[in-house]
Structure 1
C-alpha cells in the first residue's frame, strides 16, 4: 500500500492506495509515493582551489546550458547565475535586486529561475545536495514548486499548511526516512520552500537544520530590525555558518530601499554582518544624502554585493507603460461623511446607529481614506444608507410599478455605484475597456473594498478572479492560471500587499490603482505584475485619486519618496524627506484636504462628473 498525497490538497486528504490503483495521470505531488530505502545525503567536496578557478565553472551566455525539459536561460539570466555563483566562490552574501518585472520566459519568472539555476549549479557542479532554504510569500509558493520541478531534478519539499498538525504529517513523510535517524543529516529533500509565517511558526524544527544556502524572496520583509522574521533568519544564518564554515545568503528584492537607508543597511548587515557592522556609522556617512559624491561612494561600497538590472537594460522591446492619474470627485453622500468625520460630528455619525455600530474615530486618517473609496466601508453606514435610500425612493415614486427584482436592481445601482465617486468612474471605465478587449488588474489596500467591487462585478456580470490574504495558496495559483489562460477572463481583484508581490499576470494590459499606498514602492510592485518581460502589449496604469481631499495630499507626498531609491539604485537625484509625516504634518495634511471640501458646497461639479461619459472624464480629469 502507498500513501498518496493528491495534487492541490493538504495532508488531511491523503489516502492509502494500491500500486495498481495509481495511474500516472491520476496523481501528482511532491513525493506522492512515500517509500523508504533512498540513499544518504552526500557532503560537498568543494576543493580549496575553487576560489581561484571559479571562472572556469561559469557559463557562456552565447551557449546557454540546457536544463531539464530543454529549458534554457536568456543571456542576462546566465549573467545573473554567473554572478550568484561567483559570490558563492568568493564566500560572500548577495542581493539580487533586479527591477520588478524582469519576469517571464515561457511560463517561468526570470528572477526565480536565476535562483533555481544557481541552486542547480551548486547541486550539479559542486555536488552539494543541500539542504537549501527558500523563504517566499504565500502567493508564490506554487510558482516556486513549478520552477524547481520544471528546471531541476532536485527533491523539493514545499513546507506549508495552515494547520500545524498537518505540517507534522508532512514532515513525517517528506522530511525523514523510515529506516534512518530523524536528524538534519538524513533528510529526503534538497530544497525546502516555505513561507514567512510558517518559518516563524515552526522555527523550533526548521531552525535545527544547518542550511548550506538561505534565500529570501521579497527580502524587504526583513527591513524591520526588530522583526521576528529577521531574528529567525539570523539564527538560521549563524547555524549554517557554524556547521559549514560558510553559508550562501541570497536576498531577492526589487525594492531593497523603500523608505530610508537604515532599511538598506539592515539587508546588507544580514548578508555581510562583518562588512556592515554598525548602523550609526553607516548613517553618519550616508544618512543625509546631499551630494553626488555621497551617492557614488555608497554605490561603490554596495556594488560588490548587489546586482541590479532594469527592464530596459535587458529587454529593449518591452512595451511602453503609461500612467494616468484620474481626479475623482466625492459624491454628496461622501462629502457629508467626510466632513462629519473630520469635525468629529458624533450626532450625525450615530444617527440610526448604536455606539457599537457607528463609525470609529480613533484613526481619523484611515476613516477619511475609507470615505474616499466608498462610504459603505464605514461601520454601520451601509445599513443606514439602505434604509434612507429605500425610504427616499419610495416617497419619490421610483418604485412605482416595479417588481421586487427591479426595485432591488435600482437599490444596488445606487448604493454600489452612485454613492462613491470612484465607483462612478469605474462603472464608466470598465465597459469601455471590455469593449476594447483588455484584461484588467484592480488593486486596493482594503479587503472590504475588494468585497464591494466583487459584489459590483456580480451585479454587472463581469467575470473576475480575486487574490487577497484570505485566499489559500492552491486557490491563488488556480485563479492566476485561469486569468492568464482563459479568453473570457476580464478582471482580477487584488489586495496591494498580498497580490502585489511575486506573481505574474502579463495577460493583463491595464492596471487600476483604486487607492494609493503611503509607500509608493508597493504600488510600483503592483504595476509590475503586468508590466514585465513577457508582456506583448502597451500597459496602461490608471490611478484614482480623490480631488481636494486628504487622499490627494497623501498621494503627492508619497510620490516624493521615490527620489531616494532612484538616487542610490538608479539615476542621481535629491530627496529632502522620505519618512511618514510627523503628527503635526499629518494634522496639516488632514486640515488641508478637509478645508478644501468644507469650502466647496457646489454639488454641480459632482453632478457634472456623474453625468460625463468616460471619454470626457479622461480628457478633462487626467494628469
Structure 2
C-alpha cells in the first residue's frame, strides 16, 4: 500500500465525514469484507507487538515505537522492508476518528483503551466523556439515551478508562494517587432479566472480575468482597431491595442503576434502599426518564444528585404546577409564558446532570426510519352491546353518580350515604365476600376491576369468560358476571364459559381488532414482511396463537412461562429463520433485552397506561442493526376506554418532552393531572367510565386543535375539508414512492377497501406528540435567576419572533403535505377517510401504480 493510499484510508475516520465513518463501522459488523477496499490498520497494542516479534525474530522491542505514538507506514513498510517511520510524517495526518485515542483527562492521563475505543460509535464516545466529566466533578448524573443506543457499552468503556482495563489487560492500574479509592468496587443494579446481558458484555469488552450477587451464592460473594476480590458486582432490583442494608455498608467507588426509571416512586422500598448508598458517584441509565408524572423526574435526580432540583415542595410549586397548567388547552397567555420560562430554566438545570439523545440524532442516518401509526378499529356489533351493558352495572353506576345528592333525602352525597356499598353488584360482592359491610375504600375499591373488564371487552370477548387457571370460586363468579353482561348475546359468543372450540377462538367476526389485523397481516405476509405481535395479556396471546395457526402463519412465542435461559435462543431462531413470519410476545416478558431487528412490522394489540411500555415494545425492532423501514401499528378500539388510555399516553409524553427536552408541544387537552378543578376530558372517575360510543373522542380533540391552529397561524392555508385524517396517516413518500400523486379511478385493478375493514380513524403518533424542536441546542443555556422567573416574566421579543417563524415554517410544510393528500383522495373519487383506509391495505405495487399514473396525467 502506498503512503498516499493509506492517507486516503485514514480520511474515512475524520469528524468532517462522520456519516461515512459511522457507516463504515456499521457495515464492518454485518457485511462481508470487501477485498477491493483499503483495509484499516488497527492501533498498535501490546498484542500487536507480540505478533510482530513472532513474525520477525530479528526485531527487538526497542525498534517498535511506544503505543502512545502514532506509527506511520510508508511504501517500504508495506513491503515489509522497514519497521520504522519518520516522525516528521506524523504531522501530515489528521488524527481523528475511531483510532484516535479517546483521552478523557490530560493530567493525570485517562483514556479509553484502544481495543474498546476502536469499536465505539461517535455518540458513544460523547457518552463516555459525559460520564467521566460527572466522575471528575464527584457527583452523579443520568445517561438518558434512547433505547438501543448502547448505554451498557458506554458504561463499560467509561469504567475501563477509570480503572485502566481492556480485553487484554490484567489487574487495574491506578492513574493517580487515589489508590485507596481505586480499590473500591463498582455496584450495578439492574432488572434480573438483563443480569446475564451485563455479564456477557463485560466479558466481551473488558477483563474485570465480575461477580453476580443474586441467588444462592450471596454468602460466597460477600466473603469475596471482604477480601477485595470483586471489581464489579451485579445484582437485581429485588435482591437489593431485600439485602440493601448489607450491600450499603460496603464502600462503593461507583454505583450504576440500569433502567433507573424504577426509582420513580420515593415511597418504595427500593428507593429507600438506594438512598442508603454512601457514594456520591451515582449514575442512572434509562431511555424513559419520566413515565407518568413530573414528580418522577424529581425523585430520580434527587437520588442521583441530592438537592440538585431543590426541595420537593419547591420543585412542585416552581416547575410542576406551572408546566401542567401552561399545557392546558384554554390556558391564558400569561400562564403559557410562565410555563415557557420555567421549562427553559428546568432544561438548563438538567443539562448539568443529564445527557439525552435520540436515535434520529445519532444513528438515524444508519437506519431506514420508523412510522408509529395509531389505528382506531371499530368494535363489532356484539362488542358494542356488551360494552354498553358493562357501563350499566351497579358498580359503575355507583361511581358515575357518586357526587349526586342521595335519593334518601339526606344532604350527603350518594358516595357518603346509601351508595357507599354496592351489595347488588357481582364484582363488589366478590371483593367483600368476607366483609359484607364493605371496606374503608368503598366504592373506589371497584375502580380497577371495572377498568380491567372494560379493557378485556375492548380486546376480545373471550377474555371476560372464566380463566381455568383461577380458583373455582372466582371462576364461578366470572361465569355469573359473563352471563349478565352478555345478555341475549350469550349464545352468539359461545356461552359464558371458556370456548374450547378451535374454530370459535380463531374466528375474527366478533373482535374488531382481529378483523383489522387479519386484513393487514394478509398484505404484510404477501410482501415478505416479518411481524412482532405484542399483547399485555397471556390469554390474548393464546387466542392470537390459534388465529395464526388457522391462517397458516409460522410463528414463535415468548411469554413469562419461557425460562430466561431459553429466550435468547428463541430470538436467534426468529432472526435467522426466513420461514418464521410472526413473533408473539408478552409485553411484560419481552419489554427489555430483546433484539429482533429481522422484523419490520410491529403490532401492539392492546395499549398500556404507561407510554413507556409501548415504546419499549417498538424498540425491540427499531434499533441499531435494523436494515428495513419499521412500521408500527397500535390497535385501539374506537369508542372504548382505550381511547382515553391513548389520550393519557399523549398527555404524559408531551409533559416528558417539555420537561426533559424543552420541546414545544400542542395543547390538546383541558385536563390537568392531579388537579380536581381541571379534570377536563382526561381525568376523574366519570371520564374513565364515560360512554364514547357516539363520538370519535381522539379525532375530535385533534381536529379541533388543527382548525384552531389554522385560524390563528396560517389563515390562507385554511381548508373546508377534513384533512386531519389524511395528514396523520402514513405518507406515500415513506412507502418507497415519489411525491407526485394520483391514479385513474376507473382502473379496476385497484381494489377499494371493503366496508367491513374495521378501521375508523388513524394518525401518526410522532406528528401528534413531537411537535416542535427542543430547547437544547449547541449553545449552553444560561440559567435565569429565580427572581427573573416571577409571574411577570416575559421572554425577550427576539426569541418570540424566532419561535413564531419556526412554528409557521413547520405548519407550512404540514399544510403542503395535507394538500397533496387531499388532491389524491379527490382524484381517486374518494373522501379522505375512505382513501386512508385503502392506503392502509394497499400493496406497494398498487401505491406505486397510483403515483405513476397520476404523475403521467399531470405531465399531460
Partner of 1:438: 529
Rounded to whole Å, the distance in 1 between the matches of 2:126 and 2:107 is 14
TM-fit CA distance, 1:375: 0.9
Partner of 2:392: 343
1:79 aligns with 2:126: yes
Counterparts in 2 of 1:386-397, with a 5 A limit?
none
Q: Which moved more, 1:477-486 or 1:212-221?
A: 477-486
Partner of 1:579: 673
Provide the secondary structure at the position in 1 that maps to 2:631: strand
1:255 aligns with 2:255: no
Counterparts in 2 of 1:221-370, with a 5 A limit?
221-235=262-276, 237-238=277-278, 241=279, 247-287=280-320, 288-289=322-323, 290-315=338-363, 316-344=365-393, 363-370=449-456
Partner of 1:13: none
Rounded to whole Å, the distance in 2 between the matches of 1:590 and 1:620 is 33
1:141 aligns with 2:195: yes
Rounded to whole Å, the distance in 1 between the matches of 2:647 and 2:310 is 36
- Which runs of at least 4 in structure 1 moved beyond 4 Å after TM superposition? 50-56, 381-386, 388-394, 574-578, 580-584, 594-597, 615-618, 620-623
Partner of 1:90: 137
TM-score when scaled to structure 1?
Answer: 0.73
TM-fit CA distance, 1:390: 11
Provide the secondary structure at the position in 2 that maps to 1:203: helix
**8 Å contact kept, 1:133–1:213:** yes
1:189 aligns with 2:230: yes
TM-fit CA distance, 1:249: 0.9
1:121 aligns with 2:207: no
Counterparts in 2 of 1:194-593, with a 5 A limit?
194-203=235-244, 205-235=246-276, 237-238=277-278, 241=279, 247-287=280-320, 288-289=322-323, 290-315=338-363, 316-344=365-393, 363-380=449-466, 408=501, 410-414=503-507, 417-574=508-665, 579=673, 585-593=684-692
Rounded to whole Å, the distance in 2 between the matches of 1:375 and 1:118 is 52
Rounded to whole Å, the distance in 2 between the matches of 1:130 and 1:461 is 57
CA offsets per residue over residues 435-476 of structure 1, 9 Å max, x none? Answer: 222222222222332232234334444333334444432123
Rounded to whole Å, the distance in 1 between the matches of 2:492 and 2:300 is 58
Q: CA RMSD in A?
A: 4.1
Rounded to whole Å, the distance in 1 between the matches of 2:561 and 2:268 is 23
**8 Å contact kept, 1:329–1:609:** no
Cα gap change, 1:510 to 1:153, in 2 (>3 Å) = same
TM-fit CA distance, 1:187: 4.9
TM-fit CA distance, 1:306: 0.7
Partner of 2:209: 155
Rounded to whole Å, the distance in 2 between the matches of 1:295 and 1:610 is 44
CA offsets per residue over residues 34-56 of structure 1, 9 Å max, x none? Answer: xxxxxxxxxxxxxxxx9985684
**8 Å contact kept, 1:445–1:495:** yes
Rounded to whole Å, the distance in 2 between the matches of 1:378 and 1:361 is 16
Provide the secondary structure at the position in 1 that maps to 2:115: coil
Which residue among 57, 63, 70 is the counterpart of 2:110?
A: 57
Rounded to whole Å, the distance in 1 between the matches of 2:489 and 2:552 is 24
Which residue among 837, 841, 857 is the counterpart of 1:619?
A: 837
**8 Å contact kept, 2:110–2:161:** no
Rounded to whole Å, the distance in 1 between the matches of 2:367 and 2:448 is 46
TM-score when scaled to structure 2?
Answer: 0.54
**8 Å contact kept, 1:550–1:589:** yes
TM-fit CA distance, 1:257: 2.2
Cα gap change, 1:389 to 1:621, in 2 (>3 Å) = farther
Select the structure of larger CA radius of gyration: 2
Rounded to whole Å, the distance in 2 between the matches of 1:285 and 1:545 is 37
**8 Å contact kept, 2:105–2:111:** no
TM-fit CA distance, 1:578: 6.1
Rounded to whole Å, the distance in 2 between the matches of 1:393 and 1:300 is 57
**8 Å contact kept, 2:506–2:546:** no
**8 Å contact kept, 2:461–2:493:** no
Cα gap change, 1:280 to 1:610, in 2 (>3 Å) = same
TM-fit CA distance, 1:302: 1.4
Provide the secondary structure at the position in 2 that maps to 1:525: helix
Provide the secondary structure at the position in 1 that maps to 2:288: coil
Provide the secondary structure at the position in 2 that maps to 1:81: helix
Report how many aligned residue pairs link the two structures. Answer: 516
Cα gap change, 1:229 to 1:553, in 2 (>3 Å) = same
CA offsets per residue over residues 516-558 of structure 1, 9 Å max, x none? Answer: 1223233222212222222211110111111222222332332
TM-fit CA distance, 1:94: 0.9
CA offsets per residue over residues 228-279 of structure 1, 9 Å max, x none? Answer: 11111112x22xx3xxxxx421101112122333111111110111434511
Rounded to whole Å, the distance in 1 between the matches of 2:126 and 2:291 is 26
Provide the secondary structure at the position in 1 that maps to 2:227: coil
**8 Å contact kept, 1:130–1:191:** no
- Which fold has the larger relative contact order, with Cα–Cα distance below 8 Å and residues 6 or more apart in sequence? 1
Rounded to whole Å, the distance in 1 between the matches of 2:361 and 2:296 is 26
Cα gap change, 1:488 to 1:549, in 2 (>3 Å) = same
Provide the secondary structure at the position in 2 that maps to 1:95: strand
Rounded to whole Å, the distance in 2 between the matches of 1:520 and 1:185 is 43
TM-fit CA distance, 1:504: 2.4
Rounded to whole Å, the distance in 1 between the matches of 2:122 and 2:758 is 53
Structure 2, unmatched stretches of 5+, are 1-102, 166-172, 175-181, 324-337, 396-423, 432-445, 469-478, 495-499, 697-752, 760-832, 842-860
Cα gap change, 1:458 to 1:77, in 2 (>3 Å) = same
Partner of 1:609: 756
Cα gap change, 1:457 to 1:141, in 2 (>3 Å) = farther
Rounded to whole Å, the distance in 2 between the matches of 1:548 and 1:191 is 52
Rounded to whole Å, the distance in 2 between the matches of 1:88 and 1:611 is 55
**8 Å contact kept, 1:375–1:381:** no
**8 Å contact kept, 1:157–1:191:** yes
TM-fit CA distance, 1:489: 2.7
TM-fit CA distance, 1:621: 9.0
Q: Which moved more, 1:575-584 or 1:482-491?
A: 575-584
Rounded to whole Å, the distance in 1 between the matches of 2:381 and 2:574 is 36
Cα gap change, 1:580 to 1:343, in 2 (>3 Å) = farther
**8 Å contact kept, 1:218–1:502:** no
Rounded to whole Å, the distance in 1 between the matches of 2:376 and 2:361 is 33
Provide the secondary structure at the position in 1 that maps to 2:291: coil
**8 Å contact kept, 1:139–1:477:** no
Cα gap change, 1:523 to 1:55, in 2 (>3 Å) = farther
Rounded to whole Å, the distance in 2 between the matches of 1:198 and 1:616 is 54
Cα gap change, 1:444 to 1:611, in 2 (>3 Å) = closer
Cα gap change, 1:410 to 1:467, in 2 (>3 Å) = closer
Partner of 2:713: none
Rounded to whole Å, the distance in 1 between the matches of 2:616 and 2:694 is 33
Provide the secondary structure at the position in 1 that maps to 2:608: coil
Structure 1, unmatched stretches of 5+, are 1-49, 103-109, 161-166, 177-181, 242-246, 395-406, 598-605
TM-fit CA distance, 1:199: 2.1
Provide the secondary structure at the position in 2 that maps to 1:499: coil
Rounded to whole Å, the distance in 2 between the matches of 1:418 and 1:412 is 10
